[in-house]
Amino acid sequence: DDWIINGSKQWITNSPYADYAVIFAVTNEEMVKQKKGGISAFFVETDAPGYTFDGVLPVMGHTGGDCGSMSFDNLRVSADRLVGPLDNGFQIAMFGISEGRLSISANCIGMCEYALDRSLEYSQQRMRFGSPISEYQAIQFMLADMAIDIFTMKYMVLQTAALVEEFPKTGRLPVKEISIAKAYAVEKTQECYDRAIQVHGGMGLTNELTLNEGFRIARTLRIPDGTGEIQRRTIARQMLRGDTAF
Ligand SMILES: Cc1cc2nc3c(=O)[nH]c(=O)nc-3n(C[C@H](O)[C@H](O)[C@H](O)COP(=O)(O)OP(=O)(O)OC[C@H]3O[C@@H](n4cnc5c(N)ncnc54)[C@H](O)[C@@H]3O)c2cc1C
């Protein structure tokens, strides 16, 4: 009754330190071909024979959570390690990814608030041509644009989180809204850090205020848990299926 898993996976955050892993594997090729499921989730010990951690992949802007790759060579998993129904693992994965997308969006709010706070502070201290740079409209517009994006992002994420919370009652996972929030938040965070660096001039490019690190993190966040293109694909597909409520 055991399953034998062969294959590999890369880009798994925190995998270098994991004692356990949930592995998604094809269990029914025919169903996969027909796009009707066929992927299952298995709970596995990372020291099991056949499980090899292949190493860390150094990634820009991904501090504090190493990404790793691993391979599975005749990794034996007993039937009772199946997570959820057989052949229905993709839905489990998508549920986890939805949570990840929303939490990335929430992180972005804090990141942007930090960048705006630093910019408000600095622009009132930095004197150029006899005035603090906060007096100049060009700087004010950048501060205002950051605020517009933070406010929009914050209420977009809160509203989407409220829809997720209602899921047990409504049975509707707000897939479209989660993708909108993720795409919007990460893209606006990169713009926000770009503006914050601009407000700080040369100082923004130093390590002093970690704005350069924020910029790299923001750039990186546009890839994991679904790229901007994949979010837009999801949004469009949901609408084409009739989910046009806002
Ligand atoms: C820092 C980091 C952490 C990660 N952590 C994890 C993790 O913990 N667990 C995990 O499972 N994965 C993780 N990943 C993997 C991540 O989810 C993928 O890198 C991401 O989904 C993109 O897939 P890919 O790298 O294979 O790019 P690809 O799918 O090869 O995409 C390449 C380009 O093609 C575009 N593209 C692909 N398909 C389409 C399409 N249908 N229409 C239009 N454009 C398309 C993409 O948008 C992108 O621009 C992580 C990645 C990074 C960078």
Q: What is the ipTM of this complex?
A: 0.97
CB count in 10 Å sphere of residue 130 = 6
Amino acid sitting at position 67:
C
Q: What is the pLDDT of residue 116?
A: 98
Q: 67 CB under 6 A from ligand 1? A: yes
Q: Which of 3.30.470.20, 2.40.110.10, 3.40.50.11810, 1.10.10.10 would CATH assign to domain 3-83? A: 2.40.110.10
Tens of pLDDT, residues 200-241: 999 999 988 899 999 999 999 999 999 999 999 999 999 999
Q: Which of 230, 231, 235 to mutate to test the pocket of ligand 1 (most atoms within 8 A of CB)?
A: 230
Asked if residues 134 and 212 have their Cβ atoms less than 8 Å apart, the reply is no
Q: Cβ–Cβ contacts within 10 Å for residue 23, how many?
A: 22
pLDDT surpasses 90 at 246:
no
Q: Is the CB of 176 under 6 A from ligand 1?
A: no
Within the chain, which residue ranges are assigned CATH 2.40.110.10?
3-83
**Pairwise CA distance, residues 28 & 114, whole Å:** 47
CATH class for the region spanning 92-240? mainly alpha
Distance 111 CA to ligand 1 centre (A): 22
Choice from 8, 10, 11, 97 to test ligand 1 binding pocket (greatest atom count within 8 A of CB): 11
30, 11 contact by CB (below 8 A): no
Task: Render pLDDT for 103-146 as a digit per residue (tens, 0 to 9).
Answer: 999 999 999 999 999 999 999 999 999 999 999 999 999 999 99
**Structure-token pair, residue 64:** 């504090």
Is the pLDDT at 64 greater than 90? The verdict is no
- Say what the pLDDT of residue 209 is: 86
pLDDT of residue 207: 87
Indicate the DSSP class of residue 150.
H
CATH 1.20.140.10 segments of the chain: 92-240
